[in-house]
């Protein structure tokens, strides 16, 4: 069995365990318990691996808490960003969890200790309130302490049964993969809300690859996502840049639950605390990283058609992020406000790839004025119409807007709506680097880089032509759909009509004769 097949089998086991431990509780509501316990196991094993490599397997776990010196504690904090004392390690807690009448209190205390262990250190902001969504008082765990403890022990034992150890050197990679696999499955089963937390991996791959085109991967890459969700888009930048690349991650997220998921996701993918910074807050009204911008790689999937203060807030009207466009995105549709924000954070040599709702590219009013600003200044590099039904909880088709600060005299329009594979309830973009059989992602990348137009699929359009079309940026306005209807031969059709008329006349004549005879 190949490694990929093993991993797929492992993922199936993980999802089965996750469903078994949640009982009758909705999976989306229960996700924080499973994901937090998975992170707890990772954090414990990460520290054990760090200490045991010089002392033998099981050494740290066997120590009493007071046998760990202050120097050793500080070394662990410096390396991992947090500290877990031996008695609080995952395996030391799970071993007798069914006998512990205070299990809920113990886990809550351990999680608070992990958070507090980073206070006053460089990792404080990355660990602070990390487990705040793990609520031991929630009725979702049960109506009594005994019921809650049974559920918590079930989760602990379920996560403990995941056979990561069988994968040797791939163990750490699999923790991150398992975490994202769980998030994606929870999102897929959460209905409309799931899309707010997770961008499908195939879309993440596509926009990460686009934003990385032309980037020197031998130098440190600074990647930014203003609406980072669970962090999957940012982490995809690292995957597509390659293991030897150095990437720093910057993200902002407005939802506190997702903010915690993103930070855990970074740790679980082996990203050290000094290599990522995820901030909590509203990107439009309280933007983070004003001092750290600009960024060379920006990837994002902002929320569609959300409300914001817009021109009712004088400070936003005067904000350089928006004032340069001489128009404010409508109060009921902040989509283009997110676009302008990212343009402001983009370096002169960088590229931003943004998943957008198609309506912003053809509606009038303020949105048309903002499009005019973007086009006339040459910021729009390409628009890529994606297939419908790629995202969780919605079947709408989306469009990827590609921005760059180099002067783009032409805009590339790509209709990729037919490039997909049907898989379960959603469509996916296939990924295959084989030149003989390229996947959908590779076909789109080739179209993006190819200067030649491809009939019915891609077309480069001048700024002047776009201006004549009232700055409409809808892909369908420039890429003609192929007429797949059967061609009609007029001569043959006329001949068939003549024959029908002759038969009709003959039948009418016979009917008249019959009537006369009667």
Q: Are residues 172 and 207 in the same domain?
A: no
- Do 67 and 108 lie in a common domain? yes
411 DSSP assignment: E
Per-residue pLDDT reduced to its tens digit, 215-236:
999 899 999 999 999 999 999 9
> Is the distance from CB of 50 to CB of 68 less than 8 angstroms?
no
Give the model's pLDDT for residue 127: 97
pLDDT bin (cut points 50, 70, 90) of residue 297 is very high
CA 462 to chain centre: 32
Domain of 429 in residue numbering reads as 194-477
Find the Cα–Cα–Cα–Cα dihedral 148, 154, 155, 160, rounded to 10°: 150
* Predicted local confidence at residue 169, as pLDDT: 52
Q: Which helix (H) or strand (E) holds 11?
A: helix 3-22
* Average pLDDT of the segment spanning 132-140: 92
388 falls within a domain: yes
Assess whether 298 and 384 both reside in one domain: yes
* Whether 80 contacts 42, CB under 8 Å: no
Mean model confidence pLDDT for the chain: 90
**CA distances for 24 relative to 88, 103, 142, 477, angstroms:** 29, 21, 11, 49
Asked if 181 and 198 sit in the same domain, the reply is no
Q: Rounded to whole angstroms, what are the CA distances from 449 to 123, 253, 365?
A: 40, 32, 32
Q: Which of 133, 161, 189 is the last residue of a domain?
A: 189
Provide the pLDDT for residue 14. 86
Higher-scoring residue by pLDDT: 500, 43: 43
Residue 501 counted as domain residue: no
**pLDDT the model gives residue 463:** 97
- Mean pLDDT, residues 285-289: 98
Tokens of 52: 């045991």
- For residue 400, the domain's CATH number is 3.40.50.150
Domain-located, residue 51: yes
Does pLDDT of 67 surpass 90? yes
**Same domain as 398, residue 257:** yes
Return the DSSP state at 300: E
Identify whether 504 is part of a domain.
no
pLDDT of residue 136: 92
Exposed/middle/buried for 265, CB within 10 Å: 0-12, 13-18, 19+?
Answer: buried
For residues 185 and 204, membership in a common domain is answered with no
The continuous run of DSSP H or E covering 508 comes out as helix 490-517
Longest dimension (CA), the chain: 120
More confident residue, 248 or 199: 248
**Residue 385 domain flag:** yes
pLDDT over 50 at 258, yes or no: yes
> In which band, very low, low, confident or very high, does the pLDDT at 166 lie, cut at 50, 70 and 90?
low
Contacts of 78 (CB under 8 A, 6+ apart): 121
Q: Does the pLDDT of residue 518 top 70, yes or no?
A: no
Share of the chain above pLDDT 70, in %: 93
Distances in Å between the alpha carbon of 429 and those of 12, 179, 203, 241, 416?
21, 22, 7, 19, 10
The answer to whether residue 159 sits within a structural domain is: yes
For residues 281-301, give the mean pLDDT: 97
Shared domain check, 404 and 305: yes
* Averaged pLDDT, 389-404: 87
Question: Per-residue pLDDT for 462 more than 50?
Answer: yes
- Residue 192: band (very low, low, confident or very high) from pLDDT cuts 50, 70, 90: very low
Could you tell me the two tokens for 399? 């469009």
* Residue 502 is assigned to a structural domain of this protein: no
**514 domain-assigned:** no
- Domain edge (last residue) among 189, 216, 238: 189
pLDDT(431) > 50: yes
My answer on whether 245 and 356 are in the same domain is yes
Instruction: Tell me, yes or no, whether 412 and 394 share the same domain.
Output: yes
Residues 168 and 218 in one domain: no
Residue 119 φ then ψ, to 5°: -60, 130
* CA dist 78 → 125, 160, 246, 342 (Å): 14, 27, 20, 33
Placement of tokens 């980072």 in the chain: 228
Closest CA to 424 of 202, 233, 162: 202
Domain boundary among 162, 189, 216: 189
- Whether the predicted pLDDT of 256 surpasses 80: yes
pLDDT of residue 87: 97
Q: Which of 379, 386, 358 is nearest to 443 (CA)?
A: 386
- Domain check: are 174 and 208 in the same one? no
Q: Are residues 104 and 217 in the same domain?
A: no
CATH code: domain of residue 54: 1.20.1260.30
Into how many domains does the chain fold? Answer: 2
All residues at 6 or more sequence positions from 321 whose CB lies less than 8 Å from its CB, including other chains: 287, 340, 341, 344
Tell me the mean pLDDT in the region 487-503.
74
Which range is least confidently modeled, 193-197, 278-282, 497-501? 193-197
Residue pair 106/73 in contact (Cβ under 8 Å)? The answer is: no
Would the pLDDT of 197 be above 70?
Answer: no
Note the pLDDT of residue 13.
83
Confidence of residue 488 (pLDDT cuts 50, 70, 90): low
Q: Helix, strand, or coil here: 414?
A: strand
Q: Does residue 92 or residue 394 have the better pLDDT?
A: 92
* Lowest mean pLDDT across 116-125, 224-233, 424-433: 424-433
Contact 224, 283 (CB under 8 A): no
**Looking at the predicted structure, is the pLDDT value of residue 149 above 60?**
yes
């Amino acid at each position: 069995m190949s490694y990929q097949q093993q991993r797929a089998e492992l993922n199936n086991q993980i999802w089965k365990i996750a469903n078994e431990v949640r009982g009758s509780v909705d999976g989306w509501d229960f996700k924080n318990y499973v994901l937090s316990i998975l992170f707890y196991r990772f954090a414990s094993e990460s520290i054990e691996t760090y200490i045991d490599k010089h002392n033998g397997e099981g050494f740290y776990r066997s120590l009493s808490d007071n046998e760990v010196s202050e120097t050793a504690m500080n070394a662990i904090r410096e390396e991992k960003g947090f500290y877990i004392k031996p008695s609080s390690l995952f395996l030391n807690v799970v071993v007798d969890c069914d006998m512990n009448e205070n299990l809920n209190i113990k886990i809550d205390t351990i999680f608070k200790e992990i958070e507090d262990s980073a206070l006053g250190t460089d990792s404080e902001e990355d660990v602070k309130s990390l487990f705040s969504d793990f609520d031991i008082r929630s009725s979702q765990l049960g109506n009594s302490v005994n019921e809650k403890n049974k559920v918590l022990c079930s989760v602990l034992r379920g996560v403990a049964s995941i056979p990561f150890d069988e994968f040797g050197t791939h163990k750490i990679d699999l923790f991150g993969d398992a975490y994202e696999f769980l998030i994606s499955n929870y999102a897929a089963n959460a209905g409309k809300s799931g899309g707010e937390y997770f961008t499908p991996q195939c879309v993440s791959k596509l926009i990460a690859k686009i934003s990385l085109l032309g980037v020197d991967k031998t130098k440190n890459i600074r990647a930014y996502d203003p609406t980072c969700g669970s962090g999957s888009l940012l982490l995809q930048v690292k995957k597509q840049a390659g293991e030897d690349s150095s990437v720093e991650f910057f993200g902002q997220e407005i939802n506190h639950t997702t903010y915690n998921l993103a930070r855990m996701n970074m740790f679980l993918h082996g990203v050290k605390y000094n290599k990522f910074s995820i901030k909590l807050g509203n990107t439009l009204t309280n933007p983070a990283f004003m001092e750290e911008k600009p960024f060379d790689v920006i990837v994002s999937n902002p929320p569609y058609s959300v409300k914001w203060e817009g021109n009712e807030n004088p400070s936003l009207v005067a904000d350089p992020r928006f004032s340069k466009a001489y128009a404010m995105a409508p109060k009921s549709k902040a989509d283009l406000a997110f676009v302008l924000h990212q343009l402001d954070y983009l370096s002169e040599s960088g590229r931003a790839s943004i998943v957008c709702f198609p309506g912003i590219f053809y509606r009038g009013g303020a949105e048309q004025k903002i499009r005019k600003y973007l086009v006339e200044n040459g910021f729009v590099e390409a628009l890529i119409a994606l297939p419908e039904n790629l995202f969780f909880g919605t079947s709408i088709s989306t469009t990827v807007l590609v921005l760059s600060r180099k002067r783009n005299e032409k805009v590339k329009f790509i209709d990729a709506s037919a490039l997909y594979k049907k898989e379960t309830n959603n469509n996916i973009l296939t990924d295959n680097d084989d030149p003989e059989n390229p996947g959908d992602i590779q076909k789109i990348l080739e179209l993006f880089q190819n200067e030649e137009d491809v009939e019915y699929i891609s077309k480069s359009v001048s700024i002047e032509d776009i201006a004549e079309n009232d700055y409409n940026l809808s892909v369908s306005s420039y890429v003609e759909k192929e007429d797949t209807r059967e061609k009609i031969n007029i001569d043959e059709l006329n001949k068939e009509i003549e024959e029908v008329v002759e038969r009709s006349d003959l039948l009418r004549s016979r009917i008249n004769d019959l009537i006369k005879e009667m």
